[in-house]
Amino acid sequence: MQELIRQLLAGLGEDPRREGLLDTPKRVEKAYQFLTSGYKANIDQVLNNALFTVDYSEMVIVKDIDFYSLCEHHLLPFFGKCHVAYIPSTKVIGLSKIPRMVDVFARRLQVQERLTNQIADTIRDKISPLGVAVVMEATHLCMAMRGVEKQNSFCVTSAMHGGFRDSARTRMEFLELIKLRSPIPGLREPTSAGLACVGDD
């Protein structure tokens, strides 16, 4: 990987032997290994049997989970907040495991739509809840710093299953409780919604 990064630097018109770039291939390799560590993660090990039988049938919400991922079309970051809710049938997930699960799927080359579904599908598969909902809101640098260059646009995706899909009242309660949208630190409050990149440019 480091040799490929040296070739990339040279292809960009830089001198990989320049003092400031000598250790860049090593640093980039380390960064990408971390940012794609989700490929090596085992979701069952991450959950670590933190699935508990509890007599509780109301909505459970973990909101404002920060996430960072890489767009698979341009290898540029997209980042924002993830909100997860489910209605237990017989089991609940340890609360700390939900952000860890988000990280597993976010630390891969992704599109936001697939990432949203993977989180919802995993919760549905592991505890068979009466309903599960995931909403993700993110700024995509492939759209903000290149292409259309719309810095205040963001993408919102959702996955609704069970009670959240079938009951408008349940769905609206969830959306009201998460209060879209939370501002992303360092950016101005957005005024319009954008779309995820489509990889055709």
Q: Which active-site residues does the annotation give?
A: 71-74, 112, 140, 142
Residue 107 identity (one-letter amino acid): R
Contacts of 139 (CB under 8 A, 6+ apart): 78, 79, 80, 153, 154, 155, 184, 187, 190
DSSP state of 145: S
Torsional sign, CA 155, 102, 55, 128: positive
Quick one: which of 51, 172, 29 has its CA closest to 101?
Answer: 51
